[in-house]
Amino acid sequence: MEAAMRLATLRSEKARYGLLFVLLACGFFASHLRDGYLSDDFLYVAWARRSLATLLAHLTVASSRRPNEVDNVSFTVARGEILGIAGVEGNGQTELIEAITGLRDVSSGTISIADASGALREVTDSDVRSRADAGLSHIPEDRHRRGLVLEYSVADNLILGQQHRFTASASALDRARIASNAASRISTFDIRPPDESLPSRALSGGNQQKIVIAREMGRDFTVLIAAQPTRGVDVGAIEFIHDQLRKARAEGKAILLVSADLVEILALSDRVVVMYGGRMVVTLPGHEATPEILGPYMTGAHGAAGTAT
pLDDT value of residue 215 = 98
d(CA 227, CA 261): 11
What pLDDT sits at residue 38?
41
Q: How far apart are CA 64 and CA 87, in angstroms?
A: 20
Q: Which of 148, 137, 166, 120 is nearest to 255 (CA)?
A: 137
Note the pLDDT tens digit of each residue in 175-205.
999 999 999 999 999 999 999 999 999 999 9
End-to-end CA distance of the chain: 58
pLDDT of residue 171: 83
pLDDT of 81 over the 60 cut? yes
Q: Which residues are within 8 A (CB) of 27 and not within 5 positions of it... i.e. 6 or more apart?
A: none
Compare 149 and 20 and report the one with higher pLDDT: 149
Domain with CATH 3.40.50.300 in the chain: 52-135+220-309
How far apart CA 81 and CA 53 sit, in angstroms, is: 10
- Give pLDDT, residue 303: 58
**% of the chain with per-residue pLDDT over 90:** 75
Judged against a pLDDT cut of 70, whether residue 6 lies above it is answered with: no
Cβ(217)–Cβ(248) below 8 Å:
yes
Query: Exposed e or buried b for every residue in 220-248, given b needs 16+ CB within 10 A?
Result: ebbbbbbbbbbbebeeebbebbeebbeeb
Q: Encode pLDDT of 266-292 as tens digits.
A: 999 999 999 999 999 999 999 999 999
Omega of the bond prior to 296 within 30 degrees of 0, cis? no
Does 3.40.50.720 match the CATH number of domain 52-135+220-309? no
Of 25-29, 125-129, 246-250, the poorest mean pLDDT is in: 25-29
Q: Quick check: 40 and 32 in contact, CB under 8 A? A: no
pLDDT for the residue 24:
34
pTM here?
Answer: 0.82
* CA-wise closest residue to 269 among 283, 279, 220: 283
Compute the average pLDDT of residues 117-121.
85
Is residue 122 predicted with pLDDT exceeding 80? yes
Mean pLDDT, range 79-93, rounded to an integer: 97
3-state secondary structure 128-190: HHHHHHCCEEEECCCHHHHHCCCCCEHHHHCCCCCHHHCECCCCCECHHHHHHHHHHHHHHCC
Return the pLDDT at 9. Answer: 45
- pLDDT for the residue numbered 51: 79
Helix (H, G, I), strand (E, B) or coil at 280: strand
